[in-house]
Amino acid sequence: MLSDKPASTPNSLTVSQLGVLHQREIAVIEAALKKVGAFGEVHLVIERGRIRFVRTIRSEAIEDSPC
């Protein structure tokens, strides 16, 4: 979640620095969230105040199997 406080990493943005998302960016983020499922991650790569890449990490639970 974005914060109004300065972040400790050089690539982090505050809410005021990011601005407004466009419809295409929202659609790409929504598609990434659907792709990763309940346990995945969506990373937004920001360059010069704009979303440059969307990185997804899909995780799946390992079910206990009888031995």
In a domain, 7, yes or no: no
CA atoms of 60 and 40, how far apart (whole Å): 8
pLDDT at 57: 94
In a domain, 1, yes or no: no
pLDDT at 12: 61
pLDDT at 3: 46
Look at the chain and report how many structural domains it folds into.
Answer: 1
pTM (predicted TM-score): 0.62
46: containing domain: 21-57
In a domain, 29, yes or no: yes
Query: Is the pLDDT higher at 8 or at 24?
Result: 24
In a domain, 67, yes or no: no
CA atoms of 62 and 45, how far apart (whole Å): 29
In a domain, 5, yes or no: no
In a domain, 50, yes or no: yes
Q: What is the pLDDT of residues 21-63, one digit of tens each?
A: 889 999 999 999 999 988 899 999 998 888 999 999 998 888 8
In a domain, 26, yes or no: yes
In a domain, 63, yes or no: no
